[in-house]
Amino acid sequence: LPGEAAFDYNTISISANYLLERTKHRPSIGIVCGSGLGSLVDHLKEREAFPYEKIPNFPVSTVAGHDGQVVFGLLNGVPVMCMKGRFHSYEGYPLWKTAMPIRVMKLVGVNSVIVTNAAGGINDKYHVGDVMLIKDHINIPGFAGNSPLVGKNDENFGPRFPGMSNAYDKQLRQEAKNVVKEMGIEESVHEGVYVMLGGPSYETVAELRLLRLLGADAVGMSTVAEVVVARHCGMRVFAFSLVTNKCIMEWDSDEEANHEEVIAAANARKHHLQELVGRMAARMAQ
């Protein structure tokens, strides 16, 4: 199958070993920085950064001026491995490539991941700037046979048919709720279901109404493939969405979703998100 070999144990080992030979850090926690969380890495102590294009076998960025980096460092004293900038399938990558960094994390020694994203709020109770702790997902590309795990299964990572009913660790979600209380931001934090679409176009009103009927609370174009690959190889997953826009649920609305509002909302909330991630990393390391 095309591209399959590049997702196997040997290929991933080469990427992981390149990093292990060059960083002194040995993190057990990985963080995928979605929109609004990229500046998290600027606050890491003893930071060591590796541009994606320097890491052997790593996906090559298709976006001009893309500053993707793997960044190691200490977050509240806890060693972490961060992906600053992720790969999306709408850029043209097969799903396994978008999730390949998760396997690299695994072979670096990571056993728990924090996955973050920007998402549109479908649930009427969600407002711009709110956080949704992800309790479950709906893998729409998966319905059509598009999974990062399609192809020959590499048993070194996990089983052919991995379960997904406990994808979003219950204990970590409880920890997150405690952290949210400590931070005093309960009012703007929810727990809900994330649905992944391929994008890059935003959804029509009819599509959003369908997704609402299906039980989705927030919609985005990332995260699910990474989570499927993380669960396949036995990692614990904590994930959340920043609600960057309210989805347009009415046909007579004059509004339209746009990238600018997504970026603006993400920037406005970045300190919040950084604190949430920092506190979670401290707890997850124990």
Question: What are the residue numbers of the active site?
Answer: 35, 66, 88, 90-91, 118, 221-222, 245, 259
Structure-block tokens of residue 31: 């963080």
Quickly tell me which residue has 């003893």 as its tokens.
46
Nearest partner of 11 among 224, 156, 158, judged by Cα: 156
User: Which residue in the set 107, 262, 273, 277 belongs to the binding site for ligand HPA (CB under 6 A)?
Assistant: 262
Contact set for ligand HPA, span 131-160 (CB under 6 A): none
Task: Tell me whether strands 112-121 and 218-220 are parallel, antiparallel or unpaired.
Answer: antiparallel
For 107-117, b where at least 16 C-beta lie within 10 A, e where not — what string?
bbbbbbbbbbb
Closest approach, Cβ 47 to ligand HPA, in A, equals 28
**Any long-range contacts for 153-160 (C-beta under 8 Å, 24+ apart)?**
154/7, 154/8, 154/9, 156/8, 156/9, 157/9, 157/103, 157/106, 157/232, 157/233, 158/231, 158/232, 158/233, 158/234, 159/232
User: Which residue in the set 36, 120, 158, 192 belongs to the binding site for ligand HPA (CB under 6 A)?
Assistant: 120
Closest approach, Cβ 35 to ligand HPA, in A, equals 7
Closest approach, Cβ 49 to ligand HPA, in A, equals 26
Closest approach, Cβ 149 to ligand HPA, in A, equals 23
Pick 257 or 282: Cβ nearer ligand HPA: 257
Rounded-to-integer distance, Cα 168 and Cα 191, Å:
11
Rounded-to-integer distance, Cα 88 and Cα 55, Å:
18
Pick 49 or 268: Cβ nearer ligand HPA: 268
Pick 34 or 94: Cβ nearer ligand HPA: 34
User: Which residue in the set 55, 118, 180, 228 belongs to the binding site for ligand HPA (CB under 6 A)?
Assistant: 118
Closest approach, Cβ 98 to ligand HPA, in A, equals 15
167 contributes a contact to ligand HPA by CB under 6 A:
no
Rounded-to-integer distance, Cα 120 and Cα 107, Å:
33
Residue with the closest Cβ to ligand HPA?
A: 120
273 contributes a contact to ligand HPA by CB under 6 A:
no
Contact set for ligand HPA, span 206-235 (CB under 6 A): 219-221
Number of residues forming the site for ligand HPA (CB under 6 A): 13
Pick 45 or 127: Cβ nearer ligand HPA: 127
10 Å Cβ neighbour count for 187? 9
Return all residues near 126 (Cβ < 8 A) that are at least 6 apart: 132, 190, 192, 217, 218, 243, 246
Q: Determine contact, residues 105/149, Cβ cutoff 8 Å.
A: no
Build a one-symbol-per-residue string for 242-261: x at contacts with ligand HPA by CB under 6 A, - elsewhere.
--xx-x---------x----
Closest approach, Cβ 142 to ligand HPA, in A, equals 17
Task: Identify each DSSP E strand in the chain by its residue range.
Answer: 29-33, 45-51, 69-75, 78-84, 112-121, 131-139, 189-196, 218-220, 236-246
Contact stretch for ligand HPA (CB under 6 A) within 43-51, 105-113, 176-184, 240-248? 240-248
The contact set with ligand HPA (CB under 6 A) reads 118-120, 202-203, 219-221, 244-245, 247, 257, 262
